[in-house]
Amino acid sequence: MDEIARREGGHADRLAGLDAFWSPRNFIAVKFARRTVGVQLPADRQWATRWVADGRKSRRSFSPILNEAVGAVQNEKAHVAVAIDLTGVFSPGEIRPELEHMTSLKGQRGDRKEVAELLADVKGVVLALDIDDDVRGTLVARFGQPVAPIRSVARPLLMEVMAAAGASLDELEGWEPTVDAKSISLEGAMTDSGLRRIGTIIELPAPHVDVPTEGATSSGASTEPDSMAAASQKHFTAVDAYLDDVRKARNSKRFGDAAVWIERYARKIDQLSILNVDPELQDYSAYVSARLHDLVDRLRGVQTRSAKRMAKHSNFYDRQASPWGEDQTTHYENYYGSGEYRHRPVYRDSRRETVARYHGRYLEGEKKEVRMEERAAGKEDARAIMNHIDQATSQVRRAMTNRYQVEF
């Protein structure tokens, strides 16, 4: 812990009898066991001391899915494991309508109700990472009932579900699938970009980024401009690393499915240290974070805007209004009542048949077109935002390089 504290630039401490250290990035880390470290943020010594003492006194029980992740690390089957407990999160009723639009299920026979009940009975997902010369990942989704109804579409369906949640991972396309009785597993290589995305799931402080420091100082003695140059260079490199992932996503077909990761990148940028960072660069990173949040709003707004447009169509046809005008589908007949002749409208069967055909064939095409139009518009707006960010990045890179005579 002393070595970690030294590298972090913080100081070692003891909390409720356990080794700990404080980081200048406003968090406290506590060593609970040889392979277990807890992190509390923002740093609050009193709260952290009570948390540690409570954790040592009581032995809380975790859900099976969380215990699986803990066991994978403790048994040295993985270096890193991330688990999300999803028990009871979804209901079949909210999943069932979404299945109609999922391309992975197109042409698949079977009861959609059964598939909805299966997906709603998901217990959780575990991602285990084995880190050696390269990084291998294993993603496991566990269910409370047999996965036979989706066995043939396991991988594309899992990827489509993640994409719908705005958390797509392009790496999964090349991973090998394995389907067991009640689980779906994918295994393959993990890229640096994928690691950064997975790392954002856990709300830890943004990491330091090591950069070359040649030219930052001309002698062993550090001056204030040299210190600001080095800190600013680190800050800019960290921001640009996150932006590089967004740039890659911008040129991929899954750009619209990356909202979760982009939002978390914006949070990480907000958490970067600004100690000794050039004020202009601080303004730049704040601008980048704000624009990334705008970008996420545009991507997530696609579904809302699509739903509003489609609702107008649905409400119209639910009233069985004729798409070609009432004079083509309605006629009046005379009848005798209340002592006089009157007339009333009569809706012929042909009108109902016409509207039914229109509703079942044309309207479905309209909905599909609306979704495609809104997704395309959302992506274009998001790409425009990224273009503005790239312009700001070029300007600040040039300004910082000229100011400190160090390559940014």
Specify whether 71 is located in the same domain as 155: yes
Specify whether 313 is located in the same domain as 231: yes
Specify whether 13 is located in the same domain as 112: no
How many structural domains is the chain composed of? 3
- Three-state SS at 128: strand
Q: Which of 60, 87, 106 is the last residue of a domain?
A: 60
Cα separation values, 185 from 38, 95, 160, 373, Å: 28, 21, 15, 34
Looking up tokens 């990491």 gives 207
Question: Residues 300-333, buried b or exposed e (16+ Cβ, 10 A)?
Answer: eebbebbeebbeeeeeebeeeebeeeeeebeeee
Token reading at 56:
């040592």
- Phi/psi at 42 (5° precision): -70, 160
Sign of CA dihedral 106, 109, 110, 113: positive
pLDDT of residue 159: 85
Looking up tokens 């479905």 gives 364
* Domain span at 131: 61-190
Specify whether 68 is located in the same domain as 56: no
Specify whether 56 is located in the same domain as 67: no
Specify whether 119 is located in the same domain as 198: no
Q: Which amino acid appears at position 219 of this protein?
A: S
pLDDT of residue 185: 93
pLDDT of residue 41: 78
Q: Is 229 exposed, middle or buried (0-12, 13-18, 19+ CB in 10 A)?
A: buried
Over the chain (408 residues), the average pLDDT of each successive run of 10 is 71 89 83 80 87 74 81 82 89 87 80 90 92 90 93 87 74 87 93 79 53 43 71 94 84 66 87 90 95 84 58 47 43 48 49 54 60 72 88 96 93
Do 363 and 317 meet the contact criterion of CB atoms below 8 Å apart? yes
Do 23 and 205 meet the contact criterion of CB atoms below 8 Å apart? yes
Q: Which of 155, 170, 190 is the last residue of a domain?
A: 190
Specify whether 66 is located in the same domain as 95: yes
Neighbours of 364 (CB within 10 A): 11
The C-alpha atoms of residue 363 and residue 307 are separated, in whole angstroms, by 14
Specify whether 85 is located in the same domain as 6: no
Specify whether 397 is located in the same domain as 262: yes
Does this model's pTM top 0.85? My answer is no
Specify whether 220 is located in the same domain as 141: no
- Three-state SS at 381: helix
Specify whether 3 is located in the same domain as 45: yes
Specify whether 251 is located in the same domain as 367: yes
Q: Which of 173, 190, 207 is the last residue of a domain?
A: 190
Which stretches of 11-134 are assigned E, i.e. beta strand?
11-15, 18-23, 27-33, 36-40, 80-85, 122-131
Looking up tokens 């040129």 gives 251
To the nearest 10 degrees (0 to 180), the angle between helices 279-318 and 259-271 is: 150
